[in-house]
Amino acid sequence: MPRDPRPPIIRLLDHLVTLGLRGNAAREALRTGKVRIDRVPTADAGRMVDPTRVRYDPNTPRMVVGRDAVMLWYDMHLAVVWKPPEMLAVPAPGRHDAENVLRYVGQRLGTALPVHRLDEETSGVMLVARTDAAQEALKALFEAHTIERKYLALVRGSFPAGPPREMRTMMVRDRGDGLRGSGEGWGAKPAITWIGRVESYGRASLVEARLETGRTHQVRIHLAELEHPVLGDPLYADRHTAGAAPRLALHAARLAFQHPFTGEDLHFDAPLADDMEILRRKFAEKAHGRAPGTTGAEAAERSALPPAPPPIAQPERTPRESRQRPGGRQGQGGRRESPSGRPAPERPGPAGKSGSGGRGGGRGGGRGRF
């Protein structure tokens, strides 16, 4: 019988035991950022992993997992950063003391210039320019839609199975209620997102969204208009959905592009942030159950995804969505390095958890039902 070429998928804590880490030693290694999946730190001992993607380095400087940013890669032109949830991407007015990705990069590498942004509550991979020339070149790649961006989101309801569906709308700053959304009129810009189901848990689903354009809140708006708003979204989801997650359940999972100066193909994949992965498992266990005494590997077959959901097949274009309803109230490693690029120096630095700062509507008191 031919041998299965796929690596085994096991619980992270069980894998650490094979590395000689048990009990307090394992917990301390996880808590301080010495265990990483594709260079992204994790403190989630219960997640299922491909051991070949896990690295334990006792000499890695201490950090607070889930609070501190991590430099995944850099060269003289640009840097790629893991942004934790609740960290600003760029400085915000009136929040001068709040840590942000640009400050993090600037303190370690010097100049840091923005080329795109992630919402404060969104976790995942973010790109930063180090020179004016790089900023201009990278912005041109974004405008030409040649940078691959994929997001993972936990959304309300059972998202339809099948090939990814295309959402192609015109997006405006004010759809009529003060929120961004799809509409017509002055300033409307095309917005294109391909969305497919990764797994469904009945009341919620994990979906993958691939951007062709990058309008503000594009993924959140398009999912809400499909009547599958992102859990924890205080802007575009109803109150119960907004309260169904402790934060916006959106994760920038992949960033891939051709280096504008070296021509090197670079790709960075980030596993789900710990808080989203734990929430995903809770939904999966409620939907699929777990028999007493079931091993971690057996449970994974029932209720856990692989350590990183496989990419959804390249979609075939489908007819334009004919019916869209706006959502409720307001409210992305594995990489290929160029010879000049290198992993970042892991020095501890200021990395505070910034607050949510003036978000509108929706969550009320704690988690809600949906």
Beta strands in the chain (DSSP E): 10-11, 35-37, 40-41, 48-49, 54-56, 70-74, 78-83, 113-114, 123-129, 148-156, 165-172, 181-182, 189-200, 204-211, 250-258, 265-269
For residues 344 and 333, what is the distance between their CA atoms, to the nearest angstrom? 12
Distance of CA 21 to the CA centre of its chain: 28
Residue 50 near residue 307 (C-beta atoms within 8 A)? yes
Q: Which residues contact 111 (CB under 8 A, 6 or more apart)?
A: 130, 131
Spot the catalytic one: 119, 233, 274, 275: 119
Among this protein's residues, is 174 annotated catalytic? Answer: no
Residue 330 near residue 178 (C-beta atoms within 8 A)? yes
Place of tokens 């797994």: 199
Nearest partner of 155 among 234, 86, 241, 217, judged by Cα: 241
DSSP H/E element including 107: helix 101-109
The catalytic residue positions are: 119
